[in-house]
Amino acid sequence: DAGITQSPRHKVTETGTPVTLRCHQTENHRYMYWYRQDPGHGLRLIHYSYGVKDTDKGEVSDGYSVSRSKTEDFLLTLESATSSQTSVYFCAISETVNEQFFGPGTRLTVL
Amino acid sequence: GQSLEQPSEVTAVEGAIVQINCTYQTSGFYGLSWYQQHDGGAPTFLSYNALDGLEETGRFSSFLSRSDSYGYLLLQELQMKDSASYFCAVRVGEGTGANNLFFGTGTRLTVIP
């Protein structure tokens, strides 16, 4: 299995607070992604990174920001959490076009 | 924009064969992938088709017809552990987003004894 960890694995927070989720990889893959998964929507891309300090928006980027200061770490920040951001968040990495490897996920609840 | 259609639920008997279809409409197309996700788990890669035809990996096969914007995942000799959600995903990007995937909403497969 690809070495991907996410932290925290579970988080409960209140509306209006900032939240940062961390994705850490040990595979030295170039590409990293943040997805959210909600019932009825499958996986939707929030942001992605194609190198250190190189990031771009995905399908559902409003309310989220990312940073990648090192190859191994990709941070997702909810600037001011809202209840609509309650979701399961998955980080993924890839080096080729064929396959993405997913982390274990973070379950976020915004009250 | 992109849209993918796949059945929301499929039920099949242990030992049987099941086919999960996926049709897509995309502004660009570079390949079709399939991922499996068990309840509470992370998606895991099953297959990738960039060219027309059938790709076989053990009990699983994946088919693509680019002219029909259609693909399917075929699972043979079903086992109880195959009960999971299956997602098709298209690679539509180029440039920095070349590896980006757009996922369907998933098909929940239930295998019954």
Distance between CA B99 and CA B15 in Å, rounded? 35
Within 8 A of A56 by CB-CB distance, chain B residues are 96-97
Give the percent of chain A with pLDDT over 90: 92
B101 and A45 within 8 Å at the Cβ level: the answer is yes
**pLDDT at residue A2 above 70?**
no
Query: For residue B13, how many C-alpha atoms fall within 13 Å in the half-sphere facing its CB?
Result: 2
Average pLDDT over residues A87-109: 94
Confidence of residue A84 (pLDDT cuts 50, 70, 90): very high
Task: Tell me the backbone φ, ψ of residue B23, rounded to 5 degrees.
Answer: -115, 150
Residues in chain B, overall count: 113
pLDDT category of residue A102 using cuts at 50, 70 and 90:
very high
Q: State the Cα–Cα distance between residues B2 and B91, nearest whole angstrom.
A: 10
Q: What is the identity of the amino acid at A25?
A: Q
* Closest CA in chain B for residue A103: B42
pLDDT score of A75: 98
Which residue among B31, B87, B91 sits closest to A43, beta carbon to beta carbon?
A: B87
Mean pLDDT of all residues in chain A? 95
Alpha carbon distances (Å) from B76 to A80, B15, B53, B82, B84 = 47, 7, 18, 10, 15
Tens-digit pLDDT profile for chain B (113 aa)? 789 999 999 999 999 999 999 999 988 889 999 999 999 999 999 999 999 999 998 999 999 999 999 999 999 999 999 999 999 999 987 777 778 899 999 999 999 99
The predicted structure's pLDDT at residue B94: 74
Which chain B residues are within 8 Å of A105, Cβ to Cβ?
42
Residue found under tokens 């090192």: A70
The string of DSSP letters for A60-100 reads: T-TTEEEEEEETTEEEEEESS--GGG-EEEEEEEESSSS--
Sign of CA dihedral A45, A50, A51, A56: negative
* Lookup result for tokens 């990738």: B48
Give A22→chain B minimum CA distance, Å.
16
Question: By the 8 A CB rule, do B2 and B100 touch?
Answer: no
E strands, chain B, in order? 3-5, 9-13, 18-25, 31-37, 44-49, 53-57, 60-65, 70-75, 84-91, 101-103, 107-112
Q: Does B102 touch chain A (CB under 8 A)?
A: yes
DSSP 8-state code for residue B58: T
Residue A3, pLDDT score: 93
